[in-house]
Amino acid sequence: AQTVTQSQPEMSVQEAETVTLSCTYDTSESDYYLFWYKQPPSRQMILVIRQEAYKQQNATENRFSVNFQKAAKSFSLKISDSQLGDAAMYFCALSFYNQGGKLIFGQGTELSVKP
Amino acid sequence: EADIYQTPRYLVIGTGKKITLECSQTMGHDKMYWYQQDPGMELHLIHYSYGVNSTEKGDLSSESTVSRIRTEHFPLTLESARPSHTSQYLCASSESGAGSTDTQYFGPGTRLTVL
């Protein structure tokens, strides 16, 4: 079975500090994409960052970066210099090449940012 | 934010009513998806479409139906709403073809309450 697991239901970080959200997944496929999506309260879900499984280099987008460990099937998200606007539900997701783009989501981690 | 729209944003309706949740996108994406999400929980795929006249059921069984007569439009219908249908419904779309990265763009969601 292909699954995505986020073991931290809630996380908290002080403004300007760094926080890491964990995600593990299980699949026997070798070609896939991994995503982190952000869902702010009552607002639209948006893409934070994407990683292609064939790329060894970790993806980065400004203050957001990932630690992709393919052998360990781990895909954590690091948020540096946390801002109040980073408070949201964060979902890790997985999709497979040539399987229509369907996403498998984790359970989500609710991140709060303290001023 | 992505050009994908959902109406209504909120709907409170009585048991037994027929409802249609609208979703439209202006990005010309072939692939569209419907997800069901309970508050603070993960997303579950209930329907998807790879193009006009293509519809498939997702991983979570749903009593709803969908249609895809136009590329930009992917409505979801419940013939007879029940309290168990109370949830948030998210629509998404993604591009297809060479170079596609499976990135999905989400609408703002419809929060449905069935009394």
Facing residue for A44 by CB, picked from B1, B45, B102 = B1
Chain A residue nearest residue B88, CA to CA: A42
CA distance B38 to chain A (A): 11
Per CATH, domain B4-114 is 2.160.10.10: no
CA–CA separation, A24 and B42 (whole Å)? 15
pLDDT of amino acid A96: 87
Number of separate domains in chain A: 1
Chain A residue nearest residue B5, CA to CA: A44
Domain span at residue A52? 3-114
Q: Do A50 and B42 touch (CB under 8 A)?
A: no
Q: Give the CATH number of the domain where residue A92 resides.
A: 2.60.40.10
b/e per residue, A65-78, with b = 16+ CB within 10 A? bbebeeeebebbbb
Mean pLDDT of chain A: 94
A31-60 confidence digits (pLDDT tens)? 899 999 999 988 889 999 999 998 889 999
Judge residue A55's burial from the number of C-beta atoms within 10 Å of its C-beta, 0-12 exposed, 13-18 middle, 19 or more buried.
exposed
B85-107 confidence digits (pLDDT tens)? 999 999 999 987 766 777 899 99
Instruction: Spell out which chain A residues touch chain B, with contact meaning CB-CB distance below 8 angstroms.
Output: 33, 35, 37, 43-47, 50, 52, 89, 91, 95, 100-103, 105-108, 110
